[in-house]
Structure 1
Amino acid sequence: MANSLSRPDQGDIIALFARAGYAARGLVYVLVGGLAALAALGEGGEATDSRGALESVLSAPLGQVWLGAMAIGLVGYAMWRCIQAIKDTDHHGTDTKGITVRASLLVSAGIHLMLASFVVRLIFAFGGSSGGSEGGSQGVAHWLMKQPYGPWLVGALGVILIAVGLAHAAKGWKMSFDRHLDMSPTMQRWTYPICRFGLATRGVIFLFIGAFFIIAAYSVNPNEAGGLAEVFDTLRNQPFGPWLLGFVATGLFAFGIYSLLESVYRRVNPDS
């Protein structure tokens, strides 16, 4: 008698990891946006980057368990990004624009794999911080500066980040994310404004970070590079700083909601 139980389809397993990855990314941005919003309101939050937000989870009940689940999700997201890039599941094509988008997916995979590694280090060094200048944007800038043509590499990365920021803003403005979401018209009416706001805000963040890298390249000083925490500091020091910080924090929270929606409604077709 044939065994009625069959092995799970490989595509289903990949889709599960992809959705877990979108959920993990969403939770990270909800944390980042929520903490920054509290800081803007003077309610005790901290405007920090994704690493700082993940460190804050340690003090929560079952913090290590939550971090472990998020690490698995981030690895799943990195895996899905690689599949998207290699198999071209979203049909970007092989022209210059398509290759650029697919290359950016591989970069995204690397970034989220590094973030997952950071989470694992947090779990096994409970109570201690794994952050610092050796990690994050300045760490990347320091490493690139040590390579041949280092300042040019740092500057090129800045240009790429600005291009990614513009692409995010365009994606939100044109609602081109629509083709990837399987959502009812009723859901679209109240979720799409959130998605557009979140994508536009993340685009602005990339513009800032790209500018920091270009400044670092021009000054040949990797310490001028910066990430999300430095963007928050820059905004806070402007006129109406708390208002600007609160606005951007709300946008990043919205991007987190967008990612959580993707974990449920995104079309994930590993075999396409």
Structure 2
Amino acid sequence: MSVANTLLSAVPGSPSAGIRLLARLGFAAIGVVYLLMGALALMVATGLRLAAQADKEEAVQHLQTVPGGRLLLGLIAVGLLGYIVWRFTQAIRDTEGKGSDAKGVGTRLWYVCSGLFYSGLALYAGRLALQGYADKGGSTSQSLTAKVLAWPGGNWLVLLAGVVIIGVGLYQGYRAFSGQLRNDVDGSSLTSAQQRLVYRAAQIGITARGAVVAIIGYFVVQAGRQSRAGAVGSTDEAFDLLAAMGPLALGVVALGFVAYGLYSLVQAKYPILRGL
């Protein structure tokens, strides 16, 4: 909480106003990252780029090549950290009113996991901004999988984790078309046509993201079936698989990532932040 307090102390106004600002910075940072990922993958699909490396670190690293790149990287790092603070606030203060029953606690734990998901990228972007270089390091997921596989029955645990990840990806598709997304953007300042456009972008983007998550889950399932940690893959390997399926498959998902990036930028400008 000391990091959160340090950030909030630098923001004028009430703590809630500070958290709102951090959340909006977080949405904007995520929007930029997904726009870059989608653009890189789209370049591969159209033959403008040979390798399908379009993971989050690769996307952020490309910001070094633009004027003011280090400043942009610093803003990305701060924004992602702000997103983490907001997600922890949702979980701890229960701003969404989920309650303390099993379902509510599970949802609030999901908020924490959603925030921590971007912690590595925030650190990577921060190091690039301050030092001009940063080591991606090894595959944390593969290292963790190798440790779990060494446990008695570890292959079954890994297989189960893969099934859960596939379920999360499929749930993203359900969430995209269940009407839940209508509560994520304040459309009071938008026309009806603009609201529909934002909603469609959200549906397309979250479905594409869910498809990539499901593919990553498939990799984890294969790691459990084969008792081989090397079978685990990330977004980069998911794009490789889509590229092997053909430029159309990769292009559709790449456009989905671009749509999600644009949606996140709209969410940064017109957020709905309950309980703050």
**Out of 210, 227, 232, which is 1:225 matched to?**
232
Alignment of 1:89-238 (within 5 A): 89-126=95-132, 128=133, 130-132=135-137, 134-135=138-139, 137-142=141-146, 144-145=148-149, 150-183=154-187, 184=190, 185-238=192-245
Distance 1:189 1:75, change over 3 A: same
Counterparts of 1:187 and 1:16, CA distance in 2? 24
Residues paired across the two proteins, number: 261
Offset at 1:131? 2.1
Q: Deviations over 1:185-244 (max 9, x none)?
A: 342122111111111111111111111112112222111111111111111112xx1111
SS class of match (1:61):
coil
Contact 1:74–1:116 (CA<8 Å) still a contact in 2? Answer: yes
Q: 1 CA distance for matches of 2:225 and 2:151?
A: 16
Question: Partner of 2:95: helix, strand, or coil?
Answer: coil
Q: Choose the corresponding residue for 1:35, options 33, 40, 62.
A: 40
**Secondary structure in 2 matching 1:200:** helix
For 1:262 and 1:44, locate their aligned partners in 2 and report how far apart those are by CA, in whole Å.
30
Partner residue of 1:78 out of 84, 88, 93: 84
1-structure distance, mates of 2:39, 2:14: 37
- Counterparts of 1:136 and 1:261, CA distance in 2: 32
Scaled by the length of structure 1, what TM-score is found? 0.87
Range with greater deviation from structure 2 (86-95 or 7-16) = 86-95
2:59 paired with 1:53: yes
Q: Provide the C-alpha distance between the structure 1 equivalents of 2:163 and 2:108, rounded to a whole number of angstroms.
A: 17
TM superposition shift of 1:125: 4.2
Taking the aligned partners of 2:22 and 2:152, their CA distance within structure 1 comes to 37
| Change in 2 beyond 3 A, CA 1:234/1:163 | same
For residues 50 and 59 of structure 2, what CA distance do their matches in structure 1 show?
10
Cα pair distance change 1:242/1:61, threshold 3 Å:
same
Deviations 1:110-150 (A, max 9, x none): 11112111222333442x45225x14543443454466764
How far the C-alpha of 1:80 sits from its partner, in A, is: 0.9
Q: Which amino acid aligns with 1:267?
A: I
Alpha-carbon contact 1:25-1:259 (below 8 Å) kept: yes
Supply the AA of the counterpart residue of 1:163: G
Instruction: Tell me, in whole angstroms, the C-alpha distance in 1 between the residues paired with 2:173 and 2:269.
Output: 23
Is the CA contact 2:34–2:258 (under 8 Å) kept in the aligned structure 1? Answer: yes
Structure 1: which amino acid aligns with 2:112? L
After superposition, what is the alpha-carbon deviation per residue over 1:42-93, rounded to whole angstroms, capped at 9, x for unaligned?
1237531111111111222221111111000000011111111222222334
Give the Cα separation in 2 of the matches to 1:34 and 1:218: 34
Name the CA distance, whole Å, in 2 between partners of 1:30 and 1:226: 21
Contact 1:35–1:45 (Cα < 8 Å) also in 2:
no
Alpha carbons 2:39, 2:254 under 8 Å: kept: yes
Query: In the alignment, which of 261, 266, 272 is matched to residue 267 of structure 1?
Result: 272
CA distance in 2 between counterparts of 1:31 and 1:169 reads 22
1:4 is matched with which residue? none
1:22 aligned partner, one-letter code: F
Deviating 4+ runs (over 6 angstroms): none
Q: Structure 2: any 5+ residue segments left out of the alignment?
A: 1-11
Percent of residue pairs identical: 34
Question: What stretches of structure 1 of length at least 5 have no aligned partner?
Answer: 1-6
